Amino acid sequence: MFESIARFVVHRRWWVIAAWIVAAVLLVGFAPKFKVSTEQTDFLPAHYGSVQAFNLQAKAFPQAKGETAFIVATAENGKALTAEDQQKVTALATTLNGARIEGVNSVKSGPVSPNKMVQMLAVQFAGETGDPKVNDSVEALRASLARTGTPGLETEVTGSAAINADSQESFEKSDRITLLATVIVIFVLLIFTFRSIVAALLPICTVVLVMLVALSLIGTINKIFDLKADNMTQSLMPIVLFGIGTDYIVFLLFRYRERLRRGEDQKTAMVSAVQRVGQVIASAALAVVIAFCALILASLGMLRSMGPAMGIAVATTLVAALTLIPAIVSLLGPKVFWPSRNWKAEPEHRTAERLGRMIGARPGLVAAVAGLFLVALSVLALNFTPNFDMASAPKGTESARGLVAMSKGFPPGAQQVTQLYVTGERPVTDATVSAVSGKARTVKGIAEVSEPVFSADRQTALVEIQLANNPLSNTAMDAIAPLRSAVDAAAPSGTEALIGGQTAIMTDLQSSMERDYKVVFPIAGLLIAIVLGLLLRSIVAPVYLMISVVLSFLGTIGAAVLLFQTVKGYPGVLFFLPIIVYLFVVALGTDYNILMIARLREEAKAGYPPREGVARAFKQTAPTVASAGLILAGSFATFLLASADVMQEMGTSVAIGVLLSAFVMSMFLVPAVTVLLGHAAWWPGHGDQADPAPAPLVEHAPDQTPEYLN
């Protein structure tokens, strides 16, 4: 099949290139755009309490609709606010309301802290969370504050709307930096790999075209199925496309160069390359797509949307790898390696050859060392502590400074209050609300409980609760379950008590993700194993390949725990890190396993015994795996340049995981175990046996072209 595809593409290469360009233009011009949502409740199922509370708020308190923020006022001298200072802050609210700032509905005078160190103003915006206009209104409010001036006082805008605006700006800045850095890293690594400017430019030019097509297709699918995309998907998408796309191009170019060295002309060499490596690329991409699309089974909307989006991106990259890239490379011919002439000579690969022979000579020792290394890291994963403080203000921003100022006078929970809603089919009484809120006061971890506010029909009462700890900390989240139990028990028959707010949302996100881990991981693993079984026509090989993948997964989590929790002293590791590692280490790391095991089978089918075959396979494949692994790891390592802590932690972890998958799992553990098992590795299909009547490949002189390619 892949030979037929290659013949078609090479024979009609101009048509294939034109088709991609036309498709990109049409899709970008007419397809729905890729849109991002920043509202966490968009990603949770409706049965969760925080979502029910969010929906109840919109119904019972429509006047409170709209994003909110705080203006935090403190004295410049660091002392307590005087009566005159407090009058200035109160007057500031009147001044800002009179300024009629676009998108700002109201600015109201807020409380003064008990120690008189801080006074707050409450700001309500016209737009909802995620509305770009709110971000503009935040900046307009800050500009108005700067113009107005408050002598002797310092003011910072913080709270939900300001944090979202600063986070959005931080992510956009990080996206620009990491995208540029990714392009530079890929270009430099490809220059080092092929000594060619053309080969280095090839993925940069083609992946941009693929990205335009993929993002348009994703936007269309999201609109049809009403899926939401988040900032993380938007940030990861270019890295995934450049990383995977470059990997597939590297796979293809290594084989293409190998066929050119055997004397084939530029068209025949491309057909031969696709014939041999096309199945590997297709199988690897299929495994990745399956792993991504298994996220459709997740209950968390963020994962349900990320899975298909990444799956579409990889599928589009696969089609490009089998059509667009062969068309361009067959058109360029050996010029794809310009200006280097090294492509003509077979490299010695002495290091790879020595390592391959070592694996063949001492497979047990190699397997033991590689396996024990991954097991040791995996043990550290047992200390994994999830950290949910990903929605905090980015460091160095005004919203972050405002939170620090607020903490001088208010409990940590004041920055993100938790809402208690008491509602019923009939008007709720003061006694009922008092009983429920009184019970809430007795729960450990609650700092303050406000007086109730009733809806117009008095069927719902809102009580704001300030937690004693950082609202996004594990300690604060631990208070949500007992709080819910307490208010549920106190609510009389015919009424219901709901807990909402950021802490409750993150608690429900944790429950949803824990459920998704138990469902998605096993199913995705089984589906990937089936793909490997069909590719290798074996039951044994997929078993130890999946075991190695699991060790690589756990080893990556363990390495992240060691680096961030132990060395850097973080309170925990990103709570969604396991799913990210699953996506970009397990799924993509399988690519390298497939490439290595397919070459091992190819050498076995050529008649070489396991120990000699692994030496030959390692010599040819290890440079490819090393180059692809470094490129993919380097792409994610660019996240270290991002200003967002979330992206730095995520990029570092994935880069480590890719390196473990490429340089420990695929290059040493898998080949060593394959040698140890020998013929049994391919049971029951025995795919290592030579074909009954192999058709010899006709070598062509460089100036000769087969008739079917003319």
Cis peptide before 623 (omega within 30 of 0): no
Mean pLDDT by groups of 10 residues along the chain of 710 residues: 90 93 88 63 76 89 81 93 93 93 91 93 83 88 90 91 84 82 88 90 90 87 73 77 86 89 89 88 86 82 79 92 94 90 74 90 95 96 85 79 90 87 93 94 92 93 92 90 95 93 89 86 86 85 90 94 91 86 75 85 84 88 87 85 80 91 93 91 73 46 42
Rounded to 10 degrees, the C-alpha dihedral 349/355/357/359 comes to -150
- Digit-coded pLDDT (tens) for 506-548: 899 888 888 888 888 888 888 888 888 888 888 998 899 999 9
Categorise residue 213: left if φ over 0, alpha if ψ from -120 to 50, beta otherwise. Answer: alpha
Which three-class secondary structure state does DSSP give residue 421?
Answer: strand
pTM comes to 0.80
Map out the domains of the chain with their CATH numbers: 2-30+166-389+507-682 (1.20.1640.10), 66-158 (3.30.70.1430), 417-500 (3.30.70.260)
Residue 38's pLDDT is what? Answer: 55
Instruction: Name the burial class of residue 373, with classes exposed (0-12), middle (13-18) and buried (19+) by CB atoms within 10 angstroms of its CB.
Output: middle
Instruction: Give the residue from 322, 161, 313 showing the smallest Cα distance to 238.
Output: 313
Which three-class secondary structure state does DSSP give residue 397?
Answer: coil
Residue type at 629? G
Per the CB < 8 A criterion, the answer to whether 266 and 13 are in contact is no
- Distance (Å, whole) CA 687 – CA 535: 10
**Pairing status of strand 495-500 against strand 418-424:** antiparallel
